[in-house]
Structure 1
Amino acid sequence: MCHAIKMPDTILITELQNQLALMQAKLDGLEKDKISLQEDKVEMQSRIDHLLAELKLSKSQKYGKKSEKAPRGTFNEAEQHKTTEPPKHHKKGKQILAEHFEREEVEHTLTELTCQCCGEQLHQCGSEDSEQVKIIPAKVSVIKHKQFKYACRHCEHEQLASKIITAPKPKQPIPGSIASPEALSAVVTGKYCDALPLYRFVDILGRGGLELSRGTLANWCIKAGLLISPLVAAMQRHLLSEHSLCADETRTQVLDEGDNPSSNSYMWVYRSNEVSREPVVIYDYQAGRSRACAKEFLAGYQGYLQCDGYRVYDGIEGITPVGCWAHARRKYNDALKAESKNKGRAHKAISFISQLYKLETHAKNKQLSPQARYQLRQEKALPILMHFKAWLDEAEGKVTAGSYIGKAIKYTLNQWPKLMRYSEDGELGIDNNITERDIRPFTTGRKNWLFSKSINGAQASATLYSIVMTCRANDINPYYYFVHLFKTLPNRDEGDDDFTELMPWNVQLDFDYS
């Protein structure tokens, strides 16, 4: 009887325990779901913050100012040191026109020479002079070559045949073409120096009364590139003998390269360092962006190579990579524009880098020698670098790895040995901006002509850009240099590979109005 009474209680307790266990399991499941949802919330919020940062940076890059200079009032420890240099003022007044311009005088006289006061005759007592610029666009003229023929009177009477001798004319840059050295120079300077598409040049010449096709002008450019290529090869040999080089690369599109016309090829740019007295800039067209492209160009070179963080420059035999502080600073500028939460850290990093640039500006203004610049860096830049490195190590663990500030700090730490290297040698620059400036004319021109049709055209562009940018580096007028080359190169002896007298720093131009 007692057992009959206790059995239902036991069953009830067991059922209650099972229900409790089931509820506990559900509760554990709900707790796991809560944790998972919280993790998803954090991840989604992080993703939203990152997308908002990307949107903010994109808007800043599209609509904001392009300069990386910090605005006045921005926290910057380097600004605490007041400069003793006097402020620069812009020149005022009318511009004085250079003496080498051709001048024509226009005289203005009075038609009535009677004095209005007394009626007597006026006499001339001086003049008031002023000048204006006169520009004649696309002035086309024709060079008529008249080669006189000569014969011998004695042979005409005494011999069975008489030989006629024609006076020779200088060899032309494109044999059988109507292109004179001056015309060829105008076309290649317009395209490769002024980023003028050939179809616009056709229109300009048409307004001057000369009808030429775009295909003809393109053919002139390709043949001009072939003519100058031995000189550019000599410039490359000179470049690879220098103490240190700079390098960068940018994409280009060549329709005849590969199976896919929309695929990217690359224009690589190598140049002398910023203190070189005989600077050379070489453009090198390549179908790809692999390490093999850099190894091929730099074969045999031993020395420093300043570049961005692109890995293909690492591991090349004989090359010591040098980092670019402008690239590092740019990442902190991006973080400053994109992330409002990390502005303090971004400002702090930019402040360290600004102090390094302050020293470089001082060295440039004082025109310090490479040895003096090395001493300045050892004494003043190294302590800043060590302080910056300690700050980076501490800040790395306090920021989100995928944030802009996190990526900037990681990039700086990964590149640190290369970024430190500029302090080892006074001939090295603090950044690679000098090469970026030399590659900018190509990127500007690319916006106008969009692509190259053939590989030969791309290679000719590389050759002609090399001449244009080397002229700029040596501060000479590319048009007159091209004229000199197109007159001289066709008349050189075949096999003569000594181009010393034609190098930009040696050549004597008749009309160097740079």
Structure 2
Amino acid sequence: MEKRTDSNTPTIEALREERDALKRENAELILKLKWFEEQLRLGKERQFGVSSEKTNSVQLTLSLFNEAESDANPQAPEPTVETITYKRKKKQGQRQEKLENLPVEVVNYTLSEHEQTCTCCGGDLHDMSTEIREELKIIPPQVKVIRHVRHTYACRHCERQATQTPIITAPAPKAVFPKSLASPSAMAYIMCQKYLDAQPLYRQEQQLKRLGVALSRQTMANWMIYGASHWLQLIYDRMKAKLVKQDLLHADETTLQVLKEPERPATSKSYLWLYRTGHLGPPIVLYDYQTTRASKHPARFLADFKGYLHVDGYAGYHALQSITLVGCWAHARRKFSEAIKALPDSAKDSVVLAKEGLAYCNNLFKIEQNLKKSNASDEERYQTRLKQSKVIVEAFSAWLKKQTPRVLPKSALGKAIHYCRTQWEKLIVFLQDGRLEMDNNRAERSIKPFVMGRKNWLFSNTPRGAVASSTIYSLIETAKENGLIPFQYLSYLFEQLPNLEDQTNETLDKLLPWSSSLPENCKLSSQQS
């Protein structure tokens, strides 16, 4: 007799399907849990950990170039790095070297003539020795009014006898901002306070009020926008013309909030793009404000550039024409470092794949450090990379392909491997030319002052203000890169530019930050730099 089953009773096949579905769901939940645990550890590390990416020299667990694999012992402890410490003897006269560039005011303490008498015998005293004490005197900012009075002259004889009387007015420098209280030094000071020392305008307003000056932040903002658009933009354009003629450049970008952009909410993200020269040619650092992160912006800015461009992994640079992109190994190393930090405590002391990936990167950077220490030429760097770095790069490529199917794609390690594989064609470009750098740290260092300043002044009010900010930042950072004192340099520009008879390329080039025509007071001394 055939056994019947109730229609409401699940069949064995249905139970198996339900079991398999629960297993898959459980596996997915476990993966999600591990991912969230990784993010939690990374978040704690970013908030409380050390921000430096320096790592100890990590040895590869798998020998890269030694064929005697049979000698390997996975249980053997990793060799430690011996740290040698020593005490450096203090250089004699070090204090004098620090003070030699400061003006000196001498105060003599002497006895009056009637006091220069011996208390014992009444004889005259002579100057036997001196005792010298040095101290620093700090003079706080002072504000004073400069009243420019132009005298006009006429001839009394012609006034009486001639039909026309010649009138001559004494020459005077033109104002940097007509019909305002702005002077070259005041405009330069406000710019440096905000963009060099990260002092927002409302704090400057309070500071000036304590000095007895009622100067509103709106007035100071007008000064900066006028100074940037009428005068500094001339120098900016000349620097851009010089920049795009270079063979090697670096680029990066960061966010910027602009409140009053047309047809955009105040919370929209805008971007400040950075373009700068490499270690060749005069140091030039330019910022470019744009509303989006679209690839059309670097394509337009670098339309006349043809050469190598160091970038990070952002895909917006891929559309650039006639430009060879150079990948950043510092980003690759950083991702493996984050993967190590995302590991649970139980796996910290074990040899993990993330440490192997980090070791490849560290070995490449070690070669670059040795080249830098030896002051290697571009050709020597190129040959060394072909002999030493290329072997490591090829081994790393094979390692990445091998590990890809063995790791979870969404894990921190999986993302590190994925980054290297997708960026590989750009990462290996540094082997083509000894002038190229392995990373884009030069651009990251140049964009950091803006990022730090943004934490204080938070946003720009209008697009005009954002453009002015990018121009002023460009002049200040380029001045710093060329060993200038930004305040003195900007003051000099605001004195010279309004009084240039012809604003030709030749006259403007004499005012560029690397020009030999700049006065000495604009330049940092060797002790200050």
- Same fold, judged at TM 0.5 (above): yes
Aligned-partner Cα distance in 2 for 1:508–1:344: 56
Q: Which position in structure 2 is the counterpart of 1:260?
A: 265
**1:378–1:423 CA contact under 8 A, matched in 2:** yes
Change (3 A) 1:432 1:170: same
Q: Which position in structure 1 is the counterpart of 2:51?
A: 66
Q: Which position in structure 2 is the counterpart of 1:310?
A: 314
**2:277–2:284 CA contact under 8 A, matched in 1:** yes
| Mapped pair 1:45 → 2:27 | no
Change (3 A) 1:76 1:188: farther
Aligned-partner Cα distance in 2 for 1:232–1:88: 47
Once the two structures are superposed, residues 230-265 of structure 1 have per-residue CA deviations (whole angstroms, 9 ceiling, x without a partner) of 211110010000011110001101111133111011
Q: Which position in structure 2 is the counterpart of 1:56?
A: 41
- The alignment yields a C-alpha RMSD, in angstroms, of 2.9
Change (3 A) 1:27 1:472: same
Alignment of 1:200-239 (within 5 A): 200-226=203-229, 227-239=231-243
Shift of 1:160: 4.4
Q: Which position in structure 2 is the counterpart of 1:503?
A: 512
Once the two structures are superposed, residues 349-392 of structure 1 have per-residue CA deviations (whole angstroms, 9 ceiling, x without a partner) of 11111111111112222222222211121111111111111111
Q: Which position in structure 2 is the counterpart of 1:449?
A: 457
Q: With structure 2 as the length reference, what TM-score do the two structures score?
A: 0.87
Shift of 1:139: 1.6
Change (3 A) 1:247 1:159: same
Q: Which position in structure 2 is the counterpart of 1:389?
A: 397
Q: With structure 1 as the length reference, what TM-score do the two structures score?
A: 0.90
Shift of 1:107: 2.9
Q: Which position in structure 1 is the counterpart of 2:527?
A: none
Once the two structures are superposed, residues 167-219 of structure 1 have per-residue CA deviations (whole angstroms, 9 ceiling, x without a partner) of 12111221222211111111111111111111111122222222211011111
Shift of 1:90: 8.8
1:271 maps to which of 276, 279, 298:
276
Q: Bigger radius of gyration, 1 or 2?
A: 1
Name which of structure 1's ranges 229-238 and 160-169 shifts more when overlaid on structure 2: 160-169
Aligned-partner Cα distance in 1 for 2:169–2:329: 64
| Mapped pair 1:475 → 2:483 | yes
Unaligned runs of 5+ in 1: 1-12
Aligned-partner Cα distance in 2 for 1:397–1:91: 57
Q: Secondary structure at the match of 1:251?
A: strand
**1:138–1:204 CA contact under 8 A, matched in 2:** no
Count of matched residue positions in the alignment of Structure 1 and Structure 2: 497
Change (3 A) 1:389 1:124: same
**1:138–1:205 CA contact under 8 A, matched in 2:** no
| Mapped pair 1:198 → 2:207 | no
Shift of 1:225: 0.6
| Mapped pair 1:129 → 2:147 | no
Change (3 A) 1:147 1:427: same
Alignment of 1:135-150 (within 5 A): 135-150=138-153
Aligned-partner Cα distance in 1 for 2:372–2:80: 17
2:297 maps to which of 293, 296, 300:
293
Aligned-partner Cα distance in 2 for 1:53–1:464: 41
Aligned-pair identity in percent equals: 38
Shift of 1:159: 2.2
Name which of structure 1's ranges 197-206 and 439-448 shifts more when overlaid on structure 2: 197-206
Aligned-partner Cα distance in 1 for 2:59–2:30: 30
Aligned-partner Cα distance in 2 for 1:339–1:116: 83
**2:271–2:293 CA contact under 8 A, matched in 1:** yes
Shift of 1:131: 1.9
Aligned-partner Cα distance in 2 for 1:376–1:484: 45
